Structure formats: C-alpha cells, structure tokens
Structure 1
Amino acid sequence: SDHKMEPIRSRSLILPVGIVRNFEFVLTCICFSLVASEGHRNSSYWAWCMFTWCFCCFMTLFILILEFTRLNNKVPISWDDFTTAFAVLATLLLLSTSIIYPTIYACPTCIRQICASVVSWICLGLYAIEVWLALRRPGEISGFLSTVSGLLKILETFVACIIFTSLDPTKYNLRGLQWCVAVYSLCFIFALLIILLTIGRLVSAFPFPFDKLVTIYNIVAAVMYMTAVVIWPLYAFETYSRPINCDSSCWDKLVVVTFMTAVNVLVYIFDAAYSIKLVFFIRQE
C-alpha cells in the first residue's frame, strides 16, 4: 500500500498548481534572503516587506507538505477555502511589497535590491496564476472565500494591514484620530473573525442565520469607515502639516492611511450592497 501511496503523493507536486507552488516557495525564499543579506532597516515598510516574503514562503511550504503527506484531508477546515484565501491574500501582499520595496529601497546601483524587486514581481505573477487555477474550477472550489463576498473580506483585511503598517501610535493623541484607529482595528478583527469561522466550518454552529449577521456587520462597518474617511484627513492634516524639509516620511504615511481608508470605505460599501442584494433579494426570488 505504501508503494501505491507514493504516486498519489508525488502527483500533488507535478500538478500545475503544485509546480506553481514549488516555484513560489523557492522564489519567496530567495527574496527575503537577498534583502536580509543587506542588513536590517528600522522601518515599518521594510518589516512589512520581510514579513510578506517570509509569510508567503513558509505558508506555501506548509501547504506543500500537508498535500504531499495527504494530511490536508484530516485537517478540520475547508482546505479549498484555506488555500484559495491564502493565494488571494499572498497576491495582494506581494502586490503591495513589489511596489513599496523598489520605490523606497532600490537605486540604480543597488544590485541585490533590484534583484529582490524583480523576483518579488515574478512571485506576484505566480500567486496570481495560482488564484486563476483555483477559481477556474468552480466544481472543485465552492467555499465562501472563493465567492465575491469572501474575496472582498480578504481585500478588507489586506487594506487594514497596510493602514496599520503606516500608523505611528506615538503621534495620534487626538480623540478624532483615536476613533479612526478604533474603526480600523474593530473592522479588521471582525472581518478576520468571519474568515476564520468560515474556514473552520463553524458557521453552522450559530443559532441564527450567519449570512444576515455578516450583512449587518457590513452595513455597520461601511458607516464606521464613512466617518473615518472624513475624520482622519480632517484631524491628521490639520495637526501634522507637511514639513518643509526633505524628511516628509511621517506626512507621507498620513497620505497612505488617508488613501487606504478611502479604498476600504468603497470596498465596505460595495460589500454591504452586494450582501444585501444576495441575502434579501436574490434568495427571496
């Protein structure tokens, strides 16, 4: 029986998605190795880039090991949901990193930084291919996180991570800015909780319709983000004006938070509208 299992195990590595994942693992490992060899940078953006490459590398290796040993069939979660959600999240993470790292740290004479940037863009393409391979087989992937609502939840958590990376907790002592940080944190926690409950197949344990609860959350989160998209720039730019000297990194971070808040308010509004249509109109038909 062991001899029969070997072809089954090796088959997971020679399928198109298996080949893509092997390249993902190797190239993300090369990325953080190149950047780590240049030394540590005291910057939240540098830490974000390193986290992205390390996270994608080790999570891809984890998926490869579980599928090769067939232990993924014994994991008490929706494996298809998990791998699809990770591929989408990794694509978004690498998109941000592939833009941030070369913009801030690469220069015409920085060979290792340029190589890391190029490899990061190749990794981005590989994870995008994995998403395409997963979503083009609707018969095999049917979970919540492969639907429009699930993908929007992943996007909402990703944008919140970019916002957290750009926040400087030592500067925001005004109540208006503290409210915005509370909005970002609460919405992030609940969106992540919805993802985890779905992957863990715990939705059926709720004594009330989970989809209606998510719809109510989407509406509340959209309203909260609407307040943040007004309050954040009003308080932030009034309190911390753009510096005259060249060191404007703090002000640039305020701009990033403002832009990402605007992006997330649009995502939450669309998510709320889509969930209302799905729960209260389409199902009634």
Structure 2
Amino acid sequence: IPVTSTCLNITTTMSTWLIYSDHEFVDCCLQRMQLFSTCVAFSLVADMGIGRGAVGNWTLSIWCFCFAVTLIILILQFCEFPSRFPFFWYKFSVTYACYAALLCLSASITYSITYVQFLPYGPYRDRAIAATAFSCIAYVLYAMEVAEIWDLYKLNSVTCYVLTVPGLLKMLETFTACVIFAFISNTSLYQDQPALRWCVAVYTICFLQAAVVLVLNLGDCEYRLPILFPIFQLGLTLLSILLYASALVLWPLYQFDEKVGGQPQRSSDVSCKDELTYSVCAWDQRLAVTVLTAINLLIYVGDLVYWSCLFSLVYVLGCVGGGS
C-alpha cells in the first residue's frame, strides 16, 4: 500500500508539473504574439503625420501601454520573478490580461468609429485599418490568456477576485471610466462650467474608489481594514451611485440644454461641420460621455444589488441559525 501511494503521489506531481509547463509555454507564446500585435498597431499610426484628436491619441496610448507592460512581464518571467511570488503573480497576470483585453477591444472600436471612418481613402486610411486589425488580434490574444489562466485557477481550486461577479463588475466600472476619460480629454467640453467640472470630478473619484478595491484584493489587504470588506465595498458602491446619478443629470443638462448654454442639435456644433477634421466632433463626444455615464451607473446599480442580496442572504441564514 505505501508503494502504491508513493507511485500515485509521483504520478500526480508529474501530471501537475506537465500541466504547469504546458501553461507556461502557451502563456509565453501568447505574450510574444501580444507584444508583436501591439507593437505593429502603434507603429503603423504613430508617424502618420495627421492629427488624431484626443480619442485617437488615447487609443495610441493604449497600444503603447499594453506593449510596455507585456514587455515588462516577459522580462520578469525571464528573471524568474513569478516563482518567488506565485500567488500574487497569477492574480496580477489575470487582472492585467482582463484589462488589456478590454482596452484593446475598446481601442479597436473607438478608433474605427471616431477616427478611421473620417480618413480619406489612401495609404493613411489603409494603415489605420491595419492598426485596427492588429488591435483586434491583440484583444483575441489577451482573451485567450485570460481563458488559459482561468483554467489553471479552476484546476487548482484557487479563487481570484477579478474572476468573481463583484470583481468583474469592478473591472467594468473602471474600464468604462477609462473610456469616459478618453472622451473628456478634450477639456473644452467642460472647463467653462463648474457643474461639468463636478462631473469630471465624479468620474475621477469613482474610478479611484473602484481601483482601490481592486488593489486591496490584489495585495490581499482587504481583511486589514478596520471594518468588514463587504461593508466597505457596499458603502463605496452606494456613494458611487449617488455621485454618478448627479453626473447623469448635470452632464446632459449643461451639454444639451440651450437655456444653460448647451447645444441641443448636432448641427449647431461648428466642429461637426469641419470636413478637414479627421476625428469625432465635440457634440458626439458629449453624447458618448452621456451614454457611458448611464451605462456605468447601471453597472454600479448591479454591483449594489449583488452586495445587497448577499447581505440579505447572510442575514436570513443568521436568523435561521439563531432560531434553531
């Protein structure tokens, strides 16, 4: 019996080692292809010589960011950094891969909608289309890496915050805020109105709150708070809902209501009539921020509903347990 048990242990260990080796090999191949795709994407459009606009610059910065972080990850893996902090590394890698996939997807969509379609037919347009294609390829590669890491987590029965419902909601909240930041990078949209500057402050505050929650979980610091982490997260979510609700009222009011200086019609925006501008006009940016604000508010509401249901379930189970 001891011999049989030893053989089983050796077989299990070898199987686990082979699975880890396969995972590392696939992960390394995916990361090299991610590096190539993002490098080609920003290289194609970096020296086009025509204005990209605020949103175009945002997409270019996304490709540069993904390229730089992926390169750093490859260097750290070459230096065997993951073996020193394995659990942290797995959580960091899946978090980054999720964000990179979302960012590359949003860059592909926004770049094609807000920039490529306005370019005249010719070599510049072809290069922009090729950059969009490589951005889509990068999205697929990052999504494949997420699936690969997810399988590894399920194999080892390890939970990761970003792969849970509240974690995914937090990622969507911060991701939507990043897209909003891309559209409000044009400061002329809000700098003349205090109410609109308040909306920008709301987007920033709520983004930082969600980012703090993610960082606390990434660093395993969520249980070091003076209050229970679920209560802390519920309070932040409720505050974010109130702030976003105010932004959802003020932003469209001051952007589209003519009584307070807004522009209700797209035709009234001079930038939308400029045929020499190869980017989305200011009125469209205002509308995009309005829609994204409503979407993010719904995500926060879903986050609040999740935690409220969880607390209700815990309360009911506590009452049942106390009664019995």
Return the alpha-carbon distance in structure 2 between the equivalents of residues 284 and 77 of structure 1.
34
Label 1:232 to 1:97 Cα distance change in 2 as closer, same or farther (>3 A): same
Please list every run of at least 4 consecutive aligned residues from structure 1 whose deviation after the TM superposition is greater than 6 angstroms.
Answer: none
- Choose the corresponding residue for 1:217, options 225, 228, 236: 236
Return the alpha-carbon distance in structure 1 between the equivalents of residues 188 and 111 of structure 2.
24
Deviations 1:123-168 (A, max 9, x none): 1111111222222342445121221111111111111111111113
Aligned residues: 278
Matched-pair identity in %: 33
Say what the alpha-carbon RMSD is for the aligned residues: 2.5
SS of 2:82's partner is helix
- Choose the corresponding residue for 1:271, options 303, 306, 312: 303
Residue 89 of structure 1 is matched in structure 2 by 99
More moved, 107-116 vs 70-79: 70-79
Alignment of 1:105 with 2:116, yes or no, is: yes
- Gaps of at least 5 residues in structure 1 are 1-6
Residue 183 of structure 2 is matched in structure 1 by 166
Return the alpha-carbon distance in structure 1 between the equivalents of residues 314 and 48 of structure 2.
55
- Gaps of at least 5 residues in structure 2 are 1-16, 275-279, 318-324
- Choose the corresponding residue for 1:56, options 51, 66, 81: 66
Return the alpha-carbon distance in structure 1 between the equivalents of residues 198 and 82 of structure 2.
41
- Choose the corresponding residue for 1:231, options 243, 250, 269: 250
Label 1:83 to 1:14 Cα distance change in 2 as closer, same or farther (>3 A): closer
Alignment of 1:129 with 2:144, yes or no, is: yes
Return the alpha-carbon distance in structure 2 between the equivalents of residues 39 and 275 of structure 1.
50
- Choose the corresponding residue for 1:240, options 262, 273, 289: 262
Does the 8 Å contact 1:212/1:279 carry over to 2?
Answer: no
Return the alpha-carbon distance in structure 1 between the equivalents of residues 304 and 90 of structure 2.
25
Return the alpha-carbon distance in structure 1 between the equivalents of residues 138 and 39 of structure 2.
10
Deviations 1:202-257 (A, max 9, x none): 22321221121001111221222122212211121112313445147111110110
- The 5 Å alignment of 1:1-285 reads 11=21, 15-39=25-49, 41=51, 43-75=53-85, 78-103=88-113, 104-105=115-116, 107=119, 108-109=121-122, 110-136=125-151, 137-140=153-156, 141-167=158-184, 168-172=186-190, 173-238=192-257, 239-241=261-263, 242-244=266-268, 245=270, 246-247=273-274, 249-282=281-314, 285=317
Larger radius of gyration: 2
Deviation at 1:42, TM superposition (A): 5.3
Return the alpha-carbon distance in structure 2 between the equivalents of residues 199 and 92 of structure 1.
19
Deviation at 1:283, TM superposition (A): 7.6
Instruction: Supply the AA of the counterpart residue of 2:179.
Output: I
Does the 8 Å contact 2:189/2:282 carry over to 1?
Answer: no
Return the alpha-carbon distance in structure 2 between the equivalents of residues 114 and 157 of structure 1.
27
Return the alpha-carbon distance in structure 1 between the equivalents of residues 155 and 21 of structure 2.
20
